[in-house]
Structure 1
């Protein structure tokens, strides 16, 4: 092996096959030497090119092009069909580390299948790689943050343990080969507001930094052994995080022993110049970032590193150190092929396989949280006629959420309920939009095929861009709400080139003013966009092309007469799907919902939020929402009106909340008979919801966030101080507390035993507790262990210190053991120092926080004090 590189250094070209041969026989011990030798052969321009996320090929060195940007938040994302799991906040509601490990395994398996399909040693474009920028483990400190849906909730310990499970699943358990690389993000102290994220300077206290914002990242690195990490947009005390060597070198590499590479959030280095005004140009910003420890730039600011070297802002050895880490990672996941690679044979048959779909269903089931069940309305009785209402009952986007793959056969709640209860038992009405001014897909009830025989529109699918020739496929589409990111509408078409014409009739539910819209999910940073045209009564009302995401047309209908409608989509660009949407008159939609209710024995209302109103840096400014964040945490007024209208019938009301964050359901808590939090539940979400409502599955999920009564309960959104936030520091009465969740059975606790009543500081504490299912049916219980510290300044009210999800048959008991390490027993002082401190402590074990459910408590004393490392 050394001879191969000795020959290479004489100037002979290293071809692709030679580099593959090197990678195939190199040992783990030799890898750093071989990578360093490769880096030493690069010219300065070549080095600079490889430090940017879209790294080009270097043919003379046998280096293929590789784009480092891949996503896998809750499924392999943005690269065609994949298993779509519940959004991360839903996965967190499972409180199941093993489940997160299984989900991570599927994410990386499907990513590996697509990587292998391209082939080791070949160019891999964006989203085709094995460097997966997930999980998002920022603390969901405030429900107004639109990206909180991507996180594991508000608790540092829960977040950290779920992250460790997910990271282990992503990376696999082979000590030499990685199935993929996990990238926890965004390091650190990043959780909105979205509108100011590119230049926000966080002035957080040393206590809050150590007690709340760092622990999950520490767990991801120290316990999870994540091979990379992403630095955040924001600054911390005036220094942009991606240029903060105290965080990236001292804390991350020295204190935590991190051996991997650091990647910037996208364009964060340029933000240092443009928004933080940290340096006057990108040459100096790039120099500061790479010196601090940011190895890879997601963006093109590092293109100025060549100038930075020439002008003396940074030395070439700093570039070499970063490149060595990056190429070591590329070698470790087998980009050039490797001997005995256990993942080399993973094929495309693994993508969205039946086993993976079954896991998606299990994940959705485990994510369901039963918040209310008055008079045991749930499970619903077989044979009941159901009115299904609400804007989230039949939409794809509220299944997939954001950062998602394309679901091959998604099941909406409406479809799931029809399948489980029988279509003849279901009456459906959309009832309202998500919020004022936010269009939603036109429902099947307002669309009819040209022959009048079916709900929906008839679609003609062409393999040309000008609708010439006979259609390759003609079919009836129930509604126009499609995600076609990197996939074709049908196997007979090519994913990059097709045209579709839908025809039929629009059936207005009442007279009034309507807004019709065509929403196209526009591709980011791509060559071209799709064209759409909408005709009503043969009049062109929307002629959309370019970059506008939603193109509206305002129309007035005098009555409920049917109107001909035609929608044309020409897919010649790289856009990702299409939705035919509307805003209909409120009175007409409410009347439809009321009519459906009259024909039913009970009402199931699907309300909440959607990725159109909460998410990353959205272009939205309507009442209650701004830029992807919320300004009001209550249920939007249009949906509140719908609930009150259907409840007026006196029929039993089940509210199913679909959202990525907590919603203040005050009216529903007081008036609805049952409430289920279903989050954004993934491709099998409709089946999971139906199984829970029917009683085929006993819900056992728990809230990973606090549900507050009102926005006024919260401190200012721009403040990162934790006082008054989350269950740990909120002193008010929540609507629903963190850790809360009901079941169709009941669990009892007994026999809490502690390993010691007096504990020397620095020792671990063992606790055992017995949990028994004393109800009449099997179910899952989430056993939660909370530590209450002595009355110390800044100590949390309660601190989660252990949890376990267990399945128990009716009458079954189980004894569970928890170990509380010194770190779990420690406290953080005002200066950010962490120590185990003397005093009297209480430990509580139960199905919820102390005071919110059944459980048992015990006390112990810690003697002495012991400081802990960061």
Structure 2
């Protein structure tokens, strides 16, 4: 290999290879690489490449692939290891598809290895249609799960990425969908650093995420894809992010057409590139040449972006001999494999939350059932298995399918849709919206137990433009169960038969009436291709539910601030001023767990020390079933100089125990865990008293009453003087 062609030499250090390749490119060739469907540069053996790909809960939009539960469902597992395994399986399927596409010279959209996943925005308001894509409302949990997913997707090879992850949407982005192209999310420095940025910080500093995507909206007046504060000062300045930055699709166009902070395409392109937006999902960067001619943008700045983009492609092995990249050996048969289908089922099991189990009705004994009624608009629906940004499964198991699969031929399964998800008025032909009630009630009367499948679907919530007839542009305008579902439930309840309500949704809905009328309430989210089997596993005792709510279920819209208000006051479990219906961190089990012997390695430390505090606790399965408990550790600052959260989650551990088995579990806390964010957005460790809570739920009285279990508490004292910490 000659010195002149060292970018092709895989033994040369990465930075040198990138420098060498970019030095050989013309300005036009460089600019062609900064649009998502990058052009080929044949004279340099640069293949055409489309950067746009998705894998929110499985390889999406690229044909058949394993469809795992929607992201919000996976978050309910509170299980970092599980999300890592799911992401690793997705990356295998991604490579399998990519390898085959390369053999067929298919360089089209959704065929690459750069995935615009995960969505680590904070789910601050249940009306947001894209909340289903997130890991919930808590910054700590979102950060832990985001890092796990990123590491699983990118792999741990010392030289190559299995796939490239992208943390999105940076930042302060969670609706309204209908206003996202011109909306200015106004947020104070404290909320910005305390709530909206921590998961991104974790993704960059710990997860080593390869890419970050900017949001559509402005943040405090600056477009998120041309923001000095977000992109230069924080992302690259404070966090030393060295990956590439990509715009959300059409976001650069918004800068001049809708935000109107620039007057032309070339000015918008220059503003974005100058702040470090390397890749345009859109076509505005075609105006970069004009920007250069006008002196708005320099070739040197363009070089920085092109180097970051090509560096990612080098790390994916796109310029190396095929035999040197181990992931090129992943065969097409890995995609949609039996093993991944089993993982999808296990993931769904770990995502389903038991919110109510009156008189311990569940698990049902299949041998004692002569007949079961499965009722409701979501019982035989494939869309409610899927969620948005999904692939296509080779086989879907609906909820009624799962019930059939679980029962033998001697048990009769009656099915009735009852109603649809929308209709509340008679049709043009006179069909009544409750026309299916009689059949539903008849099936209930003939059955030992009723499984009623209610909720919403991706057809009613999602991204702007993806939801037909949505007044909210994809958002929900309210959180009530739509259509005639409550009326259907009321009619079925009149039969007096025990009711198991299974809710499928991607965001909290109002479940007061369901909670009143049903003996059992299961939150199933959009549970993926194996959703029906997973729900049946829970109902009939094949699996003991362990999931917890990653987001608060409020009682009504009255508990919600204005949707456009990005202040965290009275939002999420950390700042809510009233009891919700179902709190964050809540979920029931068929067994019971006892906590004891809470011990600290030290009950005080000084602000000028680097002391780690070890927290040990014993947990025993005191029930009759094998089960998994999600142990939650919360801290409360009793003497903060500024308003702080009621308490904040700072540790999660998942432990599986046989009946009567006991284990000791250990957490490690650092001084950073005790720090607060002040009004200037600085992380400060202050002296004072802290309370530490440890148990299977939040420490509030309401959560403890719902679970029937107490949370252990102890105190830790911080001494010394105020110390500012690195954010």
Q: TM-score range by the shorter chain?
A: over 0.9
Inter-partner Cα distance in structure 1 for 2:90 and 2:586: 29
Contact kept? 1:400, 1:681, Cα under 8 Å: yes
Number of aligned residue pairs: 712
Per-residue CA shift, 1:132-182, capped at 9, x if unaligned? Answer: 000000000000001000000000000000001000000000121000000
Of residues 90, 100, 103, the one that matches 2:73 is: 90
The 8 Å contact of residues 120 and 336 in structure 1, kept in 2 or not, is answered as no
CA distance in structure 2 between the aligned counterparts of 1:742 and 1:231, rounded to whole angstroms: 38
Q: 1:40, CA displacement in angstroms?
A: 2.0
Contact 1:698/1:779, CA 8 A, preserved across alignment: yes
**CA deviations over 1:576-607 (Å, ceiling 9, x no partner):** xxxxxxxx632311112111111111111110
Instruction: Please say if residues 418 and 434 of structure 2, whose CA atoms lie closer than 8 Å, have aligned partners that are also in contact.
Output: no
> 1:389 and 2:384 equivalent?
no
Matched, 1:794 2:637: no
1:826 aligned partner? 675
Aligned CA distance change for structure 1 residues 828 and 121 (closer, same or farther; 3 Å):
farther
1:607 aligned to 2:594?
no
Which of 641, 647, 655 is matched with 2:493 structurally? 647
Whichever of the two has the greater Rg, that structure is: 1
C-alpha contact 2:459 2:468 (8 A) present in aligned 1: no
- Counterpart CA distance in 1 for 2:250 and 2:466 is 19
User: Normalized against structure 1, the TM-score is what?
Assistant: 0.80
User: What pairs with 1:127-138 in structure 2 (closer than 5 Å)?
Assistant: 127-138=110-121
How far, CA to CA, are the matches of 1:619 and 1:346 in structure 2?
33
2:57 is paired with a residue of what secondary structure?
A: coil
Contact 1:204–1:237 under 8 Å retained in 2: yes
Give unmatched runs, 5+ long, in structure 1. Answer: 7-18, 438-511, 515-553, 557-583
Is the contact made by 1:57 and 1:123 (CA closer than 8 Å) also made in structure 2? Answer: no
Match status 1:860 vs 2:716: yes
Identify which of 704, 708, 711 aligns with 2:557.
711
201, 204, 213: which one aligns with 1:221: 204
Shift in CA distance, 319/123, structure 1 to aligned 2, threshold 3 Å:
farther
Q: 1:769 aligns with which of 617, 638, 643?
A: 617
Q: Is 2:256–2:265's contact at 8 Å kept on the other side of the alignment?
A: yes
Give 1:766 deviation, angstroms. Answer: 1.6
Offset at 1:95? 0.4
Aligned position for 1:26:
11
Question: What is the distance in 2 between the residues matched to 1:807 and 1:113?
Answer: 33
Q: In the alignment, which residue of structure 2 is the partner of 1:209?
A: 192
Partner of 1:742: 588
Once the two structures are TM-superposed, the CA of residue 85 in structure 1 deviates from its matched residue by 0.3
The question of whether the paired residues in 2 share the 8 Å contact of 1:708 and 1:735 is answered with yes
> Do the aligned partners of 1:65 and 1:123 also contact (CA within 8 Å) in 2?
no
Matched, 1:869 2:726: yes
Of the structure 1 ranges 761-770 and 718-727, higher mean CA displacement relative to structure 2 is found in 761-770
Where has structure 1 moved over 6 Å in runs of 4 or more? none
Q: 1:701 aligns with which of 524, 530, 547?
A: 547
Whether the 8 Å CA contact 1:766–1:818 is kept in 2: the answer is yes
Please give the root-mean-square deviation of Cα atoms over the aligned residues, in Å: 1.6
User: 1:252-296, CA deviations, whole angstroms, 9 ceiling, x for partnerless residues?
Assistant: 112112111001100110010111001001100110101101010
Query: Among residues 379, 397, 402, which one is paired with 1:411 in the alignment?
Result: 397
Partner of 2:685: 836
Tell me, yes or no, if the aligned pair for 1:400 and 1:407 is still in contact at 8 Å: no
Is the 1:101–1:165 Cα contact (8 Å) retained in structure 2? yes
1:504-523 correspondence runs (5 A): 514=427
| Distance in 2 between residues matched to 1:159 and 1:591, nearest whole Å | 45
1:45 positional shift: 1.9
Matches within 5 A, 1:315-464: 315-338=298-321, 340-382=324-366, 383-384=368-369, 385-422=371-408, 424-436=411-423
State how far apart, in whole Å, the 2-side matches of 1:763 and 1:794 are: 26
CA contact (8 A) 2:126 2:508 kept: yes
Unmatched runs of 5 consecutive residues or more in structure 2: 705-709
> Which region of structure 1 is more displaced relative to structure 2, 136-145 or 817-826?
817-826
Distance, in Å, in 2 between the alignment partners of 1:375 and 1:407 is 37
Displacement of 1:245? 2.4
1:777 counterpart SS class: coil
Quickly say closer, same or farther: Cα 1:635–1:751, change in 2 above 3 A.
Answer: same
Q: CA deviation at 1:246?
A: 2.2
Give the TM-score normalised by structure 2.
Answer: 0.96
User: Is 1:299 equivalent to 2:282 in the alignment?
Assistant: yes
